[in-house]
Amino acid sequence: MATVGYIGLGIMGGSIVRNLMKAGHELVVHNRSQKVVQELVAAGAKTASSPKAVAEQVEFVFTNLPDTPDVEKVVLGKDGIIEGAHAGLVYIDNSTIKPEIARMLAERLAEVGVAALDAPVSGGDVGAKNGTLTIMVGGPQEAFDRATPLFQAMGKAWVLVGDSGAGQIAKVCNQIIVGAQMVALAEALITAEKAGVDPSRVVDAIKGGAAQMWTMDVKPPRLFAGNRQPGFKAYMQHKDLGICLDTGKTYGIPLPMTAVIMQLYQSMLEMGHRELDNSAIITVYEQLANVRLSEPLKPE
């Protein structure tokens, strides 16, 4: 078993830590909010006062943070991970950040003998809790092989996509598709509702055919129950779509559909719904169509 540090204990990070502990790994944690830290310490984790202090004590150190500047600060800033560097340390980033920054961080850490893996995840809060995340990894094969037992505790699938930054490119591709799925689901449900057909029965009719997808399986029951809590927060989906568009600019890739979807999420944020689930993009369509998604009809 390994000694593992984890920095960033939000909706995803806290659940990942619990699964790593269940697998028998020794955890050292650090987070800005102390409530979750106290809960994990009560469950057997140790705590450290800074990212540097975490890195000094462990074989692997993870980050799972909201955005690119946050990761840069935790890795390279004062009392950052780089200041706690030591021989054999592997850095693994579960955040979704700009691919070029992931490559830069890997280069900077390599200068002090630390191997880096960019390893963004997909699967939302359910995947984090159940240990069924999909993990997209970029970086050296040797570090990936060493980290595989940790990925086994976190997810159901993990793939070394390529060199540093490749995991983040894979996440860009993932988020392009996820954003499109959330918007397509919203359009479909509101179409059924506005046309006077029970949307839940429409879902039952189409989810076994060509429209089948994870989003169709997981999100409608929550929406029909009036549950629009995250999940994966809308403002994070918006942030990720921004990374997708920035990557398109970097490599000269036209992403017109992604640009439209980002504008829809911008509208959702302007409506004050930034903390809701990304599937709650349906709120934008409800306003545009002047209709509210109803609960499923009960069988007679």
Q: Is 233 a catalytic residue?
A: no
Question: Residue 285: what pLDDT?
Answer: 98
Q: How confident is the model at residue 275 (pLDDT cuts 50, 70, 90)?
A: very high
Cα Rg, the chain, nearest whole Å: 20
DSSP state of 58: -
Query: Per residue in 175-230, pLDDT tens?
Result: 999 999 999 999 999 999 999 999 999 999 999 999 999 999 999 999 999 999 99
pLDDT at 89: 98
Strand residue runs (E) in the chain: 3-7, 26-30, 46-47, 60-63, 90-93, 115-118, 121-122, 133-138, 155-162
List the domains of the chain with CATH numbers: 3-162 (3.40.50.720), 169-289 (1.10.1040.10)
Query: What type of residue sits at position 25?
Result: H
- How far, in Å, CA of 112 to CA of 91, rounded? 12
Kindly report the backbone phi and psi dihedral angles of residue 189, in degrees, each rounded to the nearest multiple of 5, phi listed first: -65, -40
**Active-site annotation holder among 52, 98, 171, 233:** 171
CB 259 within 8 A of CB 249: no
Relative to beta strand 155-162, strand 46-47 is: unpaired
pTM (predicted TM-score):
0.94
Give me the percent of the chain exceeding a pLDDT of 90: 96
